[in-house]
Structure 1
């Protein structure tokens, strides 16, 4: 079995996919498998993936679009690596990402780690300051802001089990991390910039319409908090989110 399983959902990513693929192939750590689930793309995404003849890349193509969370879960079901990490089909890793992360986790003896990442425009040019991995993450502090990004985090499935993404949530990554942190005391920061995140002006994650409601449901429906407690954490999350992405604070 490979040491690391990389999980990627893909949907109509032909514009960026080749650079993402190259960033994985350029990794100095080579004992990995890459499980890509194409979520019924209508562009050349599947063709581009199939052009890369590497047995470590395992592509699943579904015949009905189910969203990124479901696509990740399909890949997670098939993952055999001890360490689980995520890379969306438009993002980018520095060549040492896997080697640095796995070495850090072994050195610190932790189940979860995350690194800095650059926040870039669609051409991978930095748009605002790097996101800093400067605090340990716990269940309690992750309630107020999601410091964990999928592209710069890794967890040890041998010690905590696989953590799947919930159905019916538009904030499925935050719910997944909260559920994982219920099992462990802390995730550790690796303060090195190891990845590049593309910030798309029209991406789902950047839309503000109904986002407060979606975040409220993280606490109310998935964490089973009271109404008052759910709104308390939603307001905290909103304030921290503004500071996270505002150029005033970056």
Structure 2
């Protein structure tokens, strides 16, 4: 039986140090029927030339270049418009996948008749060294739980286009992934992960993930601007978010 095509959405910007390994982690997938759509957001380093050289040897890799630096949301939506797959998956240009990632997730979707799934993942630093931290989630993740904590790593989510259609990426420059998963769970109510670590998330210096202040600021913006809450309600939501992070602590597992 022919396997369904998976479209992998990858925005890139000045990631010459990482992009080759990211692409290689896709090429090493046991699941072979995929297309990787890379949209470069006006890189000024060697990112584009590296991608072009690799793409010459593998026609499953497509490179597009934006005319002006526009942010990851625009790049992802550009890639989404080009996607032909039954399934949409996401992988940023500095992250990595386990070789069995696609196979296990697609099999999980089909066996459980699900339109969406994700997985656990590990954190690494810029050098690719383990930070001994695995990000997990509840086995039956509800919209309410996701509302107060983004359990879903962008590099792990996969959804069925036949069920959802192509879901446009938010115009927000930050926290687009959280908004994306909230949009999905608002429709299906709950989501089940593949309860294994199937990807490596790279935490880079000066990234939002590395800055607690920036993370809180952008999370507040999601409550206030995306959800449309007033300032007081947004602050109350942030209290719930902080309670989840500091008291319940459901996400981080030391490995």
TM-score normalised by length of structure 1: 0.92
Q: CA RMSD in A?
A: 2.1
Paired residues of 1:112 and 1:156 also in contact (CA < 8 A) = yes
Q: After the TM superposition, which residues 76-87 of structure 1 pair with which residues of structure 2 at under 5 Å, given as runs?
A: 76-87=80-91
How many residue pairs match? The answer is 249
Match of 2:170 among 157, 166, 170: 166
TM-score normalised by length of structure 2: 0.90
1:97 and 2:101 are equivalent in the alignment: yes
Q: 1:2 Cα deviation (Å)?
A: 5.4
- Distance between the aligned counterparts of 1:210 and 1:198, measured in 2? 17
Paired residues of 1:120 and 1:126 also in contact (CA < 8 A) = yes
Match of 2:25 among 23, 26, 29: 23
Deviations 1:31-86 (A, max 9, x none): 11111100100011011111112111111101211111211111011111111110
1:141 and 2:149 are equivalent in the alignment: no
1:203 and 2:225 are equivalent in the alignment: no
Paired residues of 1:145 and 1:236 also in contact (CA < 8 A) = no
1:6 and 2:8 are equivalent in the alignment: yes
Match of 2:51 among 43, 49, 52: 49
- Distance between the aligned counterparts of 1:197 and 1:50, measured in 2? 24
- Distance between the aligned counterparts of 2:125 and 2:163, measured in 1? 36
Match of 1:234 among 234, 238, 243: 238
1:218 and 2:222 are equivalent in the alignment: yes
- Distance between the aligned counterparts of 2:252 and 2:138, measured in 1? 18
- Distance between the aligned counterparts of 2:87 and 2:101, measured in 1? 13
Q: 1:210 Cα deviation (Å)?
A: 4.4
- Distance between the aligned counterparts of 1:115 and 1:246, measured in 2? 14
- Distance between the aligned counterparts of 2:136 and 2:214, measured in 1? 27
Paired residues of 2:136 and 2:251 also in contact (CA < 8 A) = no
- Distance between the aligned counterparts of 1:85 and 1:93, measured in 2? 11
- Distance between the aligned counterparts of 1:246 and 1:178, measured in 2? 20
- Distance between the aligned counterparts of 2:97 and 2:33, measured in 1? 16
- Distance between the aligned counterparts of 1:245 and 1:147, measured in 2? 7
Gaps of 5+ in 2: none
- Distance between the aligned counterparts of 2:148 and 2:94, measured in 1? 27
Gaps of 5+ in 1: none
Q: 1:240 Cα deviation (Å)?
A: 3.5
